[in-house]
Chain A
Amino acid sequence: MIPTFSGRLRSSPYAGLPIPSISHPAVLTSEADFTAMALMARAEWAPVLLSFAQRHDLMRRIFQTIDAVLGDTLQRILLHSRVPAGGRMPAILARETVFIVSELECEIARLLSAGLSFLSIHEGFVRHPLEVGNNEVEIAWHNPPEGGAARFNLLTSELNKLGFSAPAAGGGTTSIEATH
């Protein structure tokens, strides 16, 4: 059994609040700089709903929610994440039981073989037009204990309060997949 949450932001959870400017944007000064940005530019991108600081804050709130609901049962959290720049991550993400990595699958296999109960989190919050993502978040609980599904439903309910909706419509959803 792998309880899974899939949610998506369709509007900013910080709408109406002031956004501090980014203090050190990368400045393009040379021909090579412009060539690089042209190569990496994307023709289409999802709406930019979060600043860098707001993304950090949203992740902090997601982790606080996870701690409140599942904290006593989890041994690890794997987080897929992208650009590290944009300021210091919240301390709750840098703690010892969390590992932030570019590819989740290989680490999921590693922790499964170690027999751990853990979450894997994929986030695709878009902060600038070069960034891949669709403002989605997917959370899966690997090796949950007995009764885990009910607790995961509670987590889903709490996460939806942060502003997530389902990839299609309505609130973020829980599904139960077959075990690994």
Chain B
Amino acid sequence: MYLLEAAVYKRTVAWSALVLHGSNAVADRLGALLGRQIEIALGDIPAQSVGLNMVVSTMLDVPFTSQWLRWPAIASAARKHTRSAPQNIVTAYECASWGYVLRYAKNCAPTAPYIVISILDLNIFGLSYWRNNSMWGDSGFGLTTIVLRCSQDDFIHCQTSKSANAFGEFCVDLRTVMTVKKDLRVCAPYFPPNIATLYDRLLPSERLLTNRNADYGHSFGSDPWIALIEHRQRGLDGPSDHYLATSIALSGYWCFAEVEIADAGRFIISEAESEDELVEAAA
């Protein structure tokens, strides 16, 4: 089972003013944001113990497609701030990308035991489409960095919808896993009540961690990790508790990973820097 050694979430504001300073300024700032947070999440873990280190994103698609942003520039900027810079970025599986990275890592059998994944969903341009959408309600923007220690019996499950009702299929698949693994508590994606009502109808909802959509919005792939951070911070986890982190993508991909929270891990939520601070740093 994956051991969650660290989960760090930082809220972000839109970078509408910073983008006017150009793509280099944005790449530098993204690298700094990623690198600094990876350092916090890693703590005392040596860089050589990290077998795979990736960034995933639902939202940062067109800036890369248009090459307004280039991954090598961000990775290069990140290296100035961390011993373990992210190696690549994955956007193809949207909110479920972190699960597909775990599946890939398991198949590659990295020689070092830790995996670092940074879930970067920052509305750089302040685009209206991403702020709010009838398909998921209000959005929450930020960066989550997780550090997982892998073992031989890690459970990672990735699935693609076969019908037009991906969310319904996701819930049914989740119910099946919850039926087999009866001791699991589940971190389900944060959705507004009109969507999350399906949880109450299809799942044993007493085993779900609280839906914090009202406070965080739908935070894309970060939702389950925010839930686990808060769970630890409130002292609600027990020594042998197991959790299922889950995410679903709008296009119909979803993932489940079974995790245990490390006793001495690092679990932090921090607020966003203001846009003025960002622009001052870029000047």
Chain A residues packing against B (C-beta within 8 Å): 26-30, 32-33, 35-36, 39-42, 76, 81-85, 87-89, 91, 94, 96-97, 99-103, 106-107, 110-111, 114, 130-132
Distance, CA A85 to CA B249, complexed state (A): 10
Q: Interface on chain A toward B: helix, strand, loop, or mixed SS?
A: loop
A101-B90 contact given A40-B63, A84-B61, CB 8 Å threshold? yes
Interface code B160-182, partner A: CB below 8 Å = 1, 0 otherwise? 11100010000000000000000
Chain A residue at smallest Cβ distance from B69: A40
- Judge if B281 is at the interface, Cβ distance under 8 Å: no
Chain A residue at smallest Cβ distance from B133: A24
Q: Interface on chain B toward A: helix, strand, loop, or mixed SS?
A: mixed
Distance, CA A101 to CA B252, complexed state (A): 18
Docked-complex contact B127 and A103, CB < 8 angstroms: no
B117-165 CB contacts (< 8 Å) to partner A: 125-129, 158, 160-162
- Judge if B91 is at the interface, Cβ distance under 8 Å: yes
Docked-complex contact A76 and B107, CB < 8 angstroms: yes
Distance, CA A82 to CA B62, complexed state (A): 8
Distance, CA A32 to CA B19, complexed state (A): 10
Docked-complex contact B62 and A40, CB < 8 angstroms: yes
B32-40, B92-100, B214-222, B227-235: which lies at the interface: B92-100
Give chain B nearest CB distance to A26 CB in angstroms: 5
Q: How many of chain B's residues have a CB under 8 angstroms from any CB in A?
A: 45
Docked-complex contact A32 and B89, CB < 8 angstroms: no
Docked-complex contact A32 and B125, CB < 8 angstroms: yes
Give chain A nearest CB distance to B113 CB in angstroms: 16
Distance, CA A99 to CA B88, complexed state (A): 12
Docked-complex contact A82 and B104, CB < 8 angstroms: no
- Judge if B66 is at the interface, Cβ distance under 8 Å: yes
Chain A residue at smallest Cβ distance from B130: A26
Docked-complex contact A26 and B129, CB < 8 angstroms: yes
Docked-complex contact B88 and A88, CB < 8 angstroms: no
- Judge if B108 is at the interface, Cβ distance under 8 Å: yes
Contacts of B71 in A (CB 8 A): 102-103
Chain B residue at smallest Cβ distance from A129: B66
Distance, CA A165 to CA B163, complexed state (A): 35
Contacts of B90 in A (CB 8 A): 100-102
Docked-complex contact B92 and A84, CB < 8 angstroms: yes
Docked-complex contact B108 and A94, CB < 8 angstroms: no
Docked-complex contact A132 and B66, CB < 8 angstroms: yes
